[in-house]
Chain A
Amino acid sequence: MKIELTLEQKDNQAAFRDFVDREIIPDADRFDLEESIPPELIQKLGREGYLGALLPKEFGGKGLDAIAIGLLNEEVGRGCSSLRSLLTVHGMVAQTLLKWGSKSQQKYWLPRLASGRVIAAFGLSEPNIGSDAKSVETTATSDGSFYVLNGQKKWITFGQIADVFLIFAQCEGKPSAFLVESDRPGLSIQPISGMLGVKASMLAQLSLNECQIPQENLVGRVGFGVSHIAATALDYGRYSVACGCVGIAQACLEACTRYANQRKQFGVYLKDHQLIQQMVTEIIINLKAARLLCYQAGYLKHIGDPRAILETSIAKYFASKTATQAASDAVQIHGANGCSSEYSVQRYLRDAKIMEIIEGSNQIQQVTIANYHFGF
Chain B
Amino acid sequence: MEKHKLPIKTFLAKFFVNHELQDNEDIFALGFVNSLFAMQLVLFIEQEFSIAIENEDLDFENFKTINAIAGLVERKQVLLART
Contact = CB atoms under 8 A, between A and B. Distances in A.
Nearest to B38: A227
Contacts, number: 72
B15 A235 contact: no
Interface residues of A, number: 30
Given A304-B43, A309-B40, A375-B16, A221 B58 contact: yes
Contact of A220 (B19, B39, B55): B55
A138 interface: no
Nearest to A231: B35
Given A220-B58, A228-B58, A374-B17, A306 B36 contact: no
Given A228-B35, A306-B40, A309-B43, A376 B58 contact: no
Interface string B3-47: 000000001001111110000000000101111101111111011
Residue of B17, B33, B55, B59 contacting most chain A CB atoms (<10 Å): B55
**Interface of chain B: mostly helix, strand, loop or mixed:** helix
A205 interface: no
A305 B34 contact: no
Nearest to B57: A221
Contacts of A220: 55, 58
A114 interface: no
A373 to B, nearest CB: 10
Contact of B39 (A232, A371, A375): A232
A263 B64 CA distance: 63
Contact of A306 (B16, B19, B35, B44): B44
A220 B42 CA distance: 14
Contacts of B36: 231, 309-310, 313, 368, 371-372
A333 to B, nearest CB: 38
23 contacts: A100-B54, A100-B55, A102-B55, A220-B55, A220-B58, A221-B58, A227-B33, A228-B42, A230-B35, A231-B36, A231-B39, A232-B39, A303-B47, A304-B43, A306-B39, A306-B44, A307-B40, A309-B36, A310-B36, A371-B36, A375-B15, A376-B15, A376-B16
Given A227-B33, A228-B58, 9 more contacts: A227-B35, A227-B39, A228-B39, A228-B42, A235-B39, A309-B40, A375-B15, A376-B15, A376-B32
